[in-house]
Amino acid sequence: MTRAIVVGSGPNGLAAALTLAVAGVDVTVLEAAATPGGGTRSVEATVPGVLHDECSGFHPLAVDNAFSRSVDLKAAGLRWAWSEVQYAHPLEGGRGSSVVRSLEATAEGLGHDAGRYRRVFGPLDRRFDKIVTEFLQPMLHLPRHPFALAGFGSLSAMPATLLARNFRTEEAQALWAGVAAHAFRPLGSSFSSAIGVALGTAAHRYGWPVAVGGSRAITDAMITLLAQNGGRVITGERVTSLDAVRKEHEAELVLLDTSPRAAVGIIGDRLPQRVRRAYERYRHGTGAFQVAFAVQGGIPWTYEPTRRAGTVHLGGTLAEIGAAERETWRGRMPERPFVLLGQQSLADPGRAQGDVHPIDAYAHVPAGFQGDATQAIISQIERYAPGFRDRIVGTAVRSSTQISKQNANYVGGDICTGANTPRQLVFRPRAALNPYATGVPGVYLCSAATPPGAGAHGMCGYLAARSALEGL
């Protein structure tokens, strides 16, 4: 029986392990942290009984993809739940804009921009199943749906500021800026629309659901299925040497759910020089600074749909968000950073304790940010929800430094495991026909540093495992 070691138990490590185990491989996952899950963990971080997602909270691209169709996570207990509004973008003066599952209802809510919203997202929405098949894999492939991919690609390649010119109202432009900012890139740079176009369309096709019981339910379901297929996870094991781990476990296959630079250290001299150089050149993006709040009675948003929204984008107008993202990219902390905020208990009430609700927020900050962004985050919330501060009954801060210490993949607080530059959107982690191969027989990279990139969708791990199985 073939033996495999997977280093790291993030969603990609577990997806890789599960894919191998289902194919009959004997799999052991070694995880450095005390609990498994990487970016899919949930904890009572603030007050007892109030459950927070430590990292990922919303899972639009995990609901229906090649990996999720290959295993029955539902049978292992995974359930999705949706809030009424998928994401909202409040502006000053009680104004704002929001996105619901129905594209038509979303468009109507945008008033003068209704037709323009339909024209941008309508064609993508109609072909999204085909588009997802194409972009949730390495970019270098023979497309099965070239026309769908071309439509998606032409919008993705645009700077987000250029795509924003499709809209006339401040509300619609800000709505677009908020979803585009998920790319952690200056909005004026090429390909800065790619992530926003995908997530914005996914909001209509799949919604932005949470996992019932916290994102850790995704981890639990994968570990349950892994055990049913003979695999196991060992926590508290940091892997530092490929040779040592191969020898100890007699493993033919090793899959690394790590950053490319960490892979250089683990693989050591066996790594071909050209691959080493590419992994060392691999670029990390800007960081995140996180604050979890326990809030009595929820947040008193002035723009009403925000009270029903799972995800909230805070940062003001297109121009303000553009300026903040530009500053962050240049290594300077803006006074008013872009903030993403999750209200998971709206979809999954079991995470609240009585009327005390978990709120998970993070600000975009420069790479390696050493400062404290707590007050900047509170001010951005207070700007659109006066009185918020008085409702806080608990906080838990994870600075960018802490985020990177707790998970080695998030270098400098980069929660995407790699910058979404045009080059790295296409060639991640290096230009190669098989981006998962490290050049060392039997050793593969399977983290979010490989295609299709960041997110708790498991597709990087699934595709890396398939590549490993083909190589046997």
Ligand X SMILES: Cc1cc2nc3c(=O)[nH]c(=O)nc-3n(C[C@H](O)[C@H](O)[C@H](O)COP(=O)(O)OP(=O)(O)OC[C@H]3O[C@@H](n4cnc5c(N)ncnc54)[C@H](O)[C@@H]3O)c2cc1C
Would you tell me which residues interact with ligand X (CB under 6 A)?
7-13, 30-33, 38-40, 55-59, 238-239, 257-258, 262, 288, 290, 362, 403, 407-410, 415, 417, 447-448, 454-456, 460
The least CB distance from residue 429 to ligand X, in Å, is 12
Pairing of strands 210-211, 26-30: unpaired
The values of phi and psi at residue 363, to 5°, are -105, 150
- At 68, list the tokens: 């999720």
The least CB distance from residue 231 to ligand X, in Å, is 16
The least CB distance from residue 265 to ligand X, in Å, is 8
CA distances from residue 423 to 139, 183, 190, 287, 448 in whole angstroms, order as listed = 11, 14, 10, 19, 15
Nearer to ligand X, 13 or 109 (CB): 13
The dihedral built from the CA positions of residue 100, 103, 109 and 110, taken in this order, carries a sign that is positive
The least CB distance from residue 239 to ligand X, in Å, is 4
Nearer to ligand X, 158 or 195 (CB): 195
Residues 6+ apart with CB under 8 A from 46: 52, 292, 293, 294, 358, 393, 394, 395, 396
Nearer to ligand X, 173 or 407 (CB): 407
Nearer to ligand X, 172 or 365 (CB): 365
The values of phi and psi at residue 309, to 5°, are -100, 130
Distance, CA of 446 to CA of 18 (rounded, Å): 13
Instruction: Specify whether the CB–CB gap between 291 and 395 falls below 8 A.
Output: yes
The least CB distance from residue 182 to ligand X, in Å, is 9
Nearer to ligand X, 112 or 238 (CB): 238
Q: Whose structure tokens read 């420069």?
A: 366
Provide the greatest CA pair distance for the chain.
Answer: 65
The least CB distance from residue 423 to ligand X, in Å, is 19
Nearer to ligand X, 46 or 407 (CB): 407
The least CB distance from residue 147 to ligand X, in Å, is 27
Nearer to ligand X, 90 or 418 (CB): 418
Distance, CA of 447 to CA of 255 (rounded, Å): 9
Distance, CA of 72 to CA of 137 (rounded, Å): 21
Q: Which of 108, 157, 161 is nearest to 317 (CA)?
A: 161
Q: What is the CA radius of gyration of the chain?
A: 21
Instruction: Specify whether the CB–CB gap between 166 and 116 falls below 8 A.
Output: yes
Nearer to ligand X, 138 or 455 (CB): 455
The least CB distance from residue 23 to ligand X, in Å, is 19
For 93, the 3-state DSSP assignment is: helix
